[in-house]
Amino acid sequence: MNLMIFTASPNQDGLTAACGQAAALGAEQGEASVQMVDLNQARIGLCQACGRGYGTCWTDHECQVVDDFQDLHHQLLQADGFVMISPVYWGEMSESAKAFFDRIRRCEGTKWAQSGLKGKKVVGIAAAGGSGRGTVSCLHSMQMFCQHVHADVFDLITITQKSRPYKLETIARCLLELVKTADDV
């Protein structure tokens, strides 16, 4: 199984990064091939809502804004599944996560039932460094994204600094289980 793990925090030593490491550990224990992608290090701009709101994303299912998005989009289409890990900012995904996944939604969500992400297994993780009050709404955004692109949500996980010790273990076990059950589907 080939998995992409997307993290989206400027803090390289924070909770989001620790979640990415835990996810990779679990997936690799299941003998999956893992590609880590730090969306904060990628050069990905915002959707420009080209034309009358849709440009080539509607007709060709490709974004006409040229940056690192095209390569990551192609790699994501080749993966068997992916993990979305974002810090929680104002009850939402981080800006770098929103920029990337909004553009993916524009390209793949417009294919309706023919999305290249249809049926791909997804784990969404909302990592809150503070109170944790926005984790559920952040996961809701991830769940809606998966619904729009017809991806298959395997699990949605909240984590805070208070729950960090046992939730990092949960994340690793979740990814191990995802890999183990991938052949059962």
Q: Per-domain residue ranges for the chain?
A: 2-179
Return the percentage of the chain with pLDDT > 90, whole number: 81
**What was the pLDDT predicted at 129?**
86
**What was the pLDDT predicted at 56?**
87
**What was the pLDDT predicted at 26?**
98
| pLDDT tens track for 81-120 | 999 999 999 999 999 999 999 999 999 998 877 899 999 9
What average pLDDT does the chain have?
94
Distance CA 65, CA 101 (A): 14
Query: What is the second-level CATH architecture of the domain 2-179?
Result: 3-Layer(aba) Sandwich (3.40)
How many residues does the structure list for the chain? 185
List the structure tokens of 88: 């929680």
Average pLDDT over residues 124-141: 93
Of 175, 168, 9, 182, give the one whose Cα is nearest residue 87: 9
Which is higher by pLDDT, 132 or 32? Answer: 32
Q: Model pTM?
A: 0.95
Q: Report the amino acid identity of residue 38.
A: D
Which is higher by pLDDT, 112 or 42? Answer: 42
Please check the confidence at residue 174 and state whether its pLDDT lies above 70: yes
Please check the confidence at residue 138 and state whether its pLDDT lies above 60: yes
Q: Among positive and negative, which fits the CA dihedral 44, 48, 51, 57?
A: positive
Split at pLDDT 50, 70, 90, the class of 185 is low
The angle at the Cα of 117, spanning 126 to 104, to the nearest 5 degrees, equals 65
